[in-house]
Amino acid sequence: GQNIDQPTEMTATEGAIVQINCTYQTSGFNGLFWYQQHAGEAPTFLSYNVLDGLEEKGRFSSFLSRSKGYSYLLLKELQMKDSASYLCAVVSWGKLQFGAGTQVVVTP
Amino acid sequence: ETGVTQTPRHLVMGMTNKKSLKCEQHLGHNAMYWYKQSAKKPLELMFVYSLEERVENNSVPSRFSPECPNSSHLFLHLHTLQPEDSALYLCASSQNREEQLFFGSGTQLSVL
């Protein structure tokens, strides 16, 4: 089976930086996705990592260490609109398995 | 517009009702999925269709019955549901399996 862990909730102020960690235990690893989901809306794609290292995309960056079974999503220069749930998903054996999501609350 | 549309957005049904959820993707993808999302829990994969053939059925109760008449449409037929089935049901598609998922906005289902 697979085990994907991420914190339940994180709070940060506007303009700050927040790092959301995701650890996983799985076999047949084929990549890791991060999705953003606002309340009542569809999850939307943020990033995909298959090799070790950092992928930067504007204010958002994602890091992967396959040997450690670890990824993080870094959100910089936080804005109020970044308040959402962030889902980590591991690709393994032909399917995506999701973590429970991290609710990020951005305060003024 | 995400390219994946789901109807209805909200559904309230009694335990003896029969209803269907509909999903349509306009992206030319080969794979379509049903996920269940309950509060504070991970997204649960229910069914996967690849090129209109069901390739995954994750021990879902028979009161949920999927149908994929063509590569653009996916249905989830519901009957004699239980209150614990109340959740957000998300449809998704991808070009191929293991690739990026594109989600619909979901159907918020309440079973009374």
Residue identified by tokens 């990026």 is B100
Phi, psi angles (nearest 5°) of residue B85: -80, -5
pLDDT of residue B2 exceeding 60, the answer is: no
CA dihedral A100, A104, B2, B6 (to 10 degrees): 50
Best interface-test mutation with A: which of B101, B105, B107 has the largest number of A CBs within 10 A? B101
Q: Which residue among B40, B48, B103 sits closest to A42, beta carbon to beta carbon?
A: B103
pLDDT tens for residues B45-97?
999 998 878 877 778 999 999 999 999 999 999 999 999 999 999 999 999 88
pLDDT category of residue A22 using cuts at 50, 70 and 90: very high
A-chain residues within 8 Å CB-CB of B45? 95-97
The b/e string for B83-95 (b: 16+ C-beta within 10 A; e otherwise) is eebbbbbbbbbbe
Residue of chain A with shortest Cα separation from B10: A40
DSSP state of B40: T
Dihedral sign from CA coordinates of B59, B63, B69, B74: negative
Q: What is the full DSSP assignment across A31-68?
A: EEEEEEE-TTS--EEEEEE-SSEEEEETTEEEEEETTT
A-chain residues within 8 Å CB-CB of B103? 42-44
B60 touches chain A (CB under 8 A): no
A-chain residues within 8 Å CB-CB of B98? 30-31, 91, 94-96
pLDDT category of residue A26 using cuts at 50, 70 and 90: confident
pLDDT value for B39: 86
Residues A95, B105: C-beta atoms closer than 8 Å:
no
pLDDT value for B21: 98
B101 touches chain A (CB under 8 A): yes
Are A99 and A6 in contact by the 8 Å Cβ rule? The answer is: yes
B102 touches chain A (CB under 8 A): yes
Q: Which residue from B78, B75, B62 is spatially nearest to B111, judged by alpha carbons?
A: B78
Are B69 and B78 in contact by the 8 Å Cβ rule? The answer is: no
Instruction: Note the Cα A19 to chain centre separation in Å.
Output: 9
pLDDT of residue A2 exceeding 70, the answer is: no
Q: For residues B57 and A19, which has the higher predicted lDDT (pLDDT)?
A: A19
Residue of chain B with shortest Cα separation from A38: B105
Residues A95, B102: C-beta atoms closer than 8 Å:
no
Q: Judge if the upstream peptide bond of residue B8 is cis by omega within 30 degrees of 0.
A: yes
CA distance A20 to chain B (A): 16
pLDDT tens for residues A36-87?
999 888 899 999 999 999 999 999 999 999 999 999 999 999 999 999 999 9
Q: Which residue among A8, A30, A101 sits closest to B98, beta carbon to beta carbon?
A: A30
